[in-house]
Structure 1
Amino acid sequence: MNIAQIIAHRDAGVVTCRADHSVAEAVALLRAHQIGAMPVVDETGAVQGIFSERDVIRCLDELGADALSAPVSDAMTSPPVTASPQMSEPEALGLMTMRRIRHLPVVENGRMIDFVSIGDLVKAHIDQIEQEASEMRNYIRSA
């Protein structure tokens, strides 16, 4: 299974922010949408970085209370690690494990088309295993 198959039936709404937003504005978006990370995009839709809860903690440690007024560009993880729609689910999981990250922007022709989490990939993997087990049980019953 590849990333395109995983995202094929999902709502295309991805919460994003801009590099010139303040950390406080970005934190408010994370909280309002109950998410742990979001891509930072420019006006063309190109991904400039990822802003996550980990980035907030690091920024607070470095800047103290001034972190909230800092621009997201000072706190985000950049350059972003991205995936293509053709990347397989095992490749994406391996990349996330190797790079110690939990989110991947899915990029095609220089533009982000979706955003996947490690949870999305694990769920797809489990669903595939359950489908194969069900097919195997049905095959055994019909024999």
Structure 2
Amino acid sequence: MTEIHLVKLSVGTESVADLIAWQKRPAVQTVDGLPRHITRMWPKRAAELIRGSSIYWVIKGEILARQRIIRLDETTGEDGIRRCAIVLDPEMIRTRPATRAPFQGWRYLSAADAPPDLRPLKSDGALPEQLDRALSEIGLI
């Protein structure tokens, strides 16, 4: 069985830092304090997704980060419709920037097509995304 992931647009965020801040809001978290993303559609390949897969975030046309998928929870919206809450590991892992055309919803992403992770920083702070991109383009990270 091929390893799969999800890729999703992070609508309204300008940076990875914006996405992290958004996920820290209590309204976006599960009862146990984990970030989640609620979607209308339940993934048909759910069993595969909870075995070490990640959601890759597209920000301003580029995949820039990923988070490990912990579980899929059923939730019901205010309209009474069943939805899927993709529960995520709070650790945000930066990836090598990868251009992605706009799309709606989420898409499956094969492991072969997923951008590699950037090496973790040795300092406490994150590099600005433009510097990450430039260093990645010349093969330094």
> With structure 2 as the length reference, what TM-score do the two structures score?
0.30
More relative contact order, 1 or 2 (CA 8 Å, 6+ apart): 2
More strand by share: 2
Q: Which has the higher helix share?
A: 1
